A and B are shown apart, each in its own frame.
Chain A
């Protein structure tokens, strides 16, 4: 396009000069001047055309060849233009000149002692015929990356990783699928061996079983025959009991590994699983507490900005020499009176002082009669009541190992979000049979109709007529998509006539 436009302008200029020179025949010097001008214009136009074709200002080259003293090491011209012209020119031209790259070599004069195969000067920019990624090579590169990363993990990652035993208390409710799927997907990507103990309040249920069966992990699904109560306090207490029960299972089966507590509504980062491999007996990590903010909490934040951090953290606190010095716990004072009491209250849900999920322990601590068990662990069978946090399992809280660079890394987040207790949700979140239409599609702004389908499909669709709906109930889902204004009336009449016939 560029070519033709410039071509046009040159032609028009040339024709103008011809036209202007015509009537000046009489005046000789004027004619003389104009012919020189014409000649110059023609030469200029020719040079411009050649430059366009070659792709660079070859006038420079001409001057250089004419006037340069040392033309020793330079050579002429390249085969291909600079980048932008290469794009506008046809790809075929690039292809045709590509294999000819070797003609660049001209014999060097004897300035250099020996013949170097590297020539100084302007070179062509080599572009292959189809300069785009090849999917086979991309796959090979990914395999190389995987192998390199595997080697890195072997050299710098955790040596001798231990099995992770995950304890999750759950119960059937609206948001169970949401929360449990999140935890399940996190656990499915963990690169270590995993045993998942799922404790369910209210007994083993089919919903939970079908959810966790999709994970492909080794699971132990145990039912607890108390129903989950409605108040948060009671719920926390029941969860603690369930977790203790799970620890008893670990003891009975003599499971070997690291026990961690993954509540079903928490969010875990994968670095957490790498970090807990470093625990020796009993460790603690920092947990970020995500409180569902309400208006009251926000106004509080504005007042006491410096005191309350935006996101409170629960976990170990270290002094300057990276030894455990204390604990960061959740400050419930700002929320006094404004927190949720029952599960479906739409207020902030508060965590306990120290949440179970922030602690990990070596499963050998729970075994009966362990050889090198430290003395500060209490026997689980002795404990029966409400253990508020795992610190209740040990006698001496100073033996806890702080993980995650001494509590500075937040590796998991705690959140409690629940729907109303009376909320209805379809079993297994599958809508079967399909929903009734509540808003007729005629009124929604659907885009213009796609091309028509063959006639038989159209007659099968009944859209507006309620009688039609009953007869063709199973096909109403398709009819939602067939909302073309002009076709609707037609199908309406056709369908109604058809059904009139049927009836």
Chain B
């Protein structure tokens, strides 16, 4: 009996010793960690050789002329459609032989009709898209072969292919009927929403990479701001009584935390906005009129943990990036308890999230650099398309079979563009 007691004590001592070593090891932790989402460790996959894309040659009135009319389209957050076209034109996945192509791309810039303020008007976009599809279906046989099931389109507007900036109207319109079988690459993503189709690929909004690079500060600057946010809380112009904009979530943030010293929130937009984000631990990314915003991209680039306040949102490349491990999701109904939620996260979890954010492949996946670099958002889109291959046999329609209704939709959409 006595010997067993000594053995037990010996084991305890050994265990204690081992436990002491563990934290010592953690103290000298790695600065980054590998990221793998539900689709596996796919952030660094190379799409070259895994798919072939054929780019339709549309007349320049669908793309180049529109861009010439308003070059502001190159800098706003919907510029992904333009840069994707340019990338695909010179990419090794492009093929000039449509017979061997797996995917077909139609370069039509639907989000380039800008108001004087710079906001895109979506009223002509359905007609433009329809006219483009009519063109490709009459000039090439590939659309009618599958009714668009192996075609993909970039629709980076507020509510994707619903082509409206107001949510009620967008839901009313629904996705353009002609795009029902195509794959949509869009920034909007919300579960169980009309405007998010099954099988769509969510991409981040465009943020200018050079501008963010020039505002980087040394990494050893200590992070001293707990929560950071700059933006509107009430949209007085469009929603004077409050409660409509952001489903009341932004207003709730303001009302509950405007006198809290941990929350650096305000509507003023300072010149040191990017530098301040790099000095913050948490950056709020609440919804606005649409659930997505470029704040997510900025937070990831600057290493600030994104706090996502948008119910049921689908974040970019959700199958490749495990966003629950990187950001903090807060339900809109829990906004009044935001400070309790954030302060009760254990420090090890926070440090792990920062390590994941520090991973260079994570930052690269959010950007659209020119010229394209390996692992950037263009390549993630191609990876996503490659993961959907090979096409199911059922996408190929029998000759004479028709699924799409060409006359569906509001009457105004049927007018030629």
Chain A residues within 8 Å of B, Cβ to Cβ? 56-57, 70, 72-74, 78, 82-83, 86, 101, 111-118, 120-128, 131-134, 137-138, 140-141, 143-145, 147-149, 151-157
**Chain B contacts for A125, CB-based, 8 A:** 242-243, 248, 251-252, 255
> Which of A78, A117, A127 is the one whose CB lies under 8 Å from B252?
A127
Docked-complex contact B243 and A118, CB < 8 angstroms: no
**Chain A contacts for B345, CB-based, 8 A:** 144
**Could you list some 18 contacts between A and B, CB below 8 A?**
A73-B171, A112-B171, A116-B192, A118-B190, A120-B167, A121-B244, A123-B247, A125-B242, A126-B333, A128-B337, A137-B339, A143-B347, A144-B347, A145-B281, A148-B281, A152-B223, A154-B27, A156-B220
A457-B412 Cα distance, complex, nearest whole Å: 93
Docked-complex contact B248 and A133, CB < 8 angstroms: no
Q: Which residue of A lies closest to B28 (CB)?
A: A154
Q: Which residue of B lies closest to A84 (CB)?
A: B242
A82-B241 Cα distance, complex, nearest whole Å: 6
A118-B243 Cα distance, complex, nearest whole Å: 14
A132-B255 Cα distance, complex, nearest whole Å: 10
A72-B169 Cα distance, complex, nearest whole Å: 11
Q: Enumerate B29-54 residues with CB–CB distance to A below 8 Å.
A: 29, 31
Q: Does B336 contact A (CB under 8 A)?
A: yes
Docked-complex contact A133 and B241, CB < 8 angstroms: no
Instruction: With A113-B194, A126-B335 as known contacts, state yes or no: A131 contacts B262, CB within 8 Å.
Output: no
A38-B222 Cα distance, complex, nearest whole Å: 69
A70-B234 Cα distance, complex, nearest whole Å: 27
A73-B166 Cα distance, complex, nearest whole Å: 13
Docked-complex contact B171 and A111, CB < 8 angstroms: yes
A101-B27 Cα distance, complex, nearest whole Å: 45
Chain B residues within 8 Å of A, Cβ to Cβ? 27-29, 31, 167-168, 171-172, 190-194, 218-220, 222-224, 226, 234, 241-244, 247-248, 251-252, 254-257, 259-262, 281, 311-312, 332-333, 335-337, 339-340, 342-345, 347, 350-351, 354
Q: How far is the CB of A58 from chain B (nearest CB, A)?
A: 11
**Chain A contacts for B281, CB-based, 8 A:** 144-145, 148
Docked-complex contact B172 and A137, CB < 8 angstroms: no
**Chain A contacts for B343, CB-based, 8 A:** 137, 140-141, 144
Closest 9 CB pairs of A and B: A156-B220, A128-B336, A116-B192, A82-B242, A123-B248, A140-B343, A147-B347, A149-B222, A133-B260
A151-B354 Cα distance, complex, nearest whole Å: 10
Docked-complex contact B336 and A120, CB < 8 angstroms: no
Q: Which residue of A lies closest to B31 (CB)?
A: A155
Q: How far is the CB of B188 from chain A (nearest CB, A)?
A: 13
Q: How far is the CB of B293 from chain A (nearest CB, A)?
A: 16
Docked-complex contact B172 and A82, CB < 8 angstroms: no
Docked-complex contact A141 and B342, CB < 8 angstroms: yes
> Which of B172, B192, B350 is the one whose CB lies under 8 Å from A70?
B172
Docked-complex contact B172 and A145, CB < 8 angstroms: no
Q: How far is the CB of B340 from chain A (nearest CB, A)?
A: 6
**Chain B contacts for A153, CB-based, 8 A:** 220, 222
Docked-complex contact A74 and B262, CB < 8 angstroms: no
**Chain A contacts for B247, CB-based, 8 A:** 118, 123
Docked-complex contact B259 and A112, CB < 8 angstroms: no
> Which of A57, A78, A137, A145 is the one whose CB lies under 8 Å from B340?
A137
A70-B172 Cα distance, complex, nearest whole Å: 9
Instruction: With A125-B251, A126-B252, A141-B262 as known contacts, state yes or no: A149 contacts B336, CB within 8 Å.
Output: no
**Chain B contacts for A149, CB-based, 8 A:** 222-224
A66-B311 Cα distance, complex, nearest whole Å: 31
Q: Which residue of A lies closest to B221 (CB)?
A: A152
Docked-complex contact B336 and A127, CB < 8 angstroms: yes
Instruction: With A101-B333, A115-B192 as known contacts, state yes or no: A148 contacts B347, CB within 8 Å.
Output: yes
Q: How far is the CB of A315 from chain B (nearest CB, A)?
A: 22
Docked-complex contact B312 and A116, CB < 8 angstroms: yes
A155-B220 Cα distance, complex, nearest whole Å: 8
Q: How far is the CB of A160 from chain B (nearest CB, A)?
A: 12
**Chain A contacts for B337, CB-based, 8 A:** 128
**Chain A contacts for B257, CB-based, 8 A:** 131
**Chain A contacts for B222, CB-based, 8 A:** 149, 152-153
A131-B255, A147-B350, A151-B354 known; 4 new pairs, CB 8 Å cut-off, are A116-B193, A143-B347, A145-B224, A148-B354
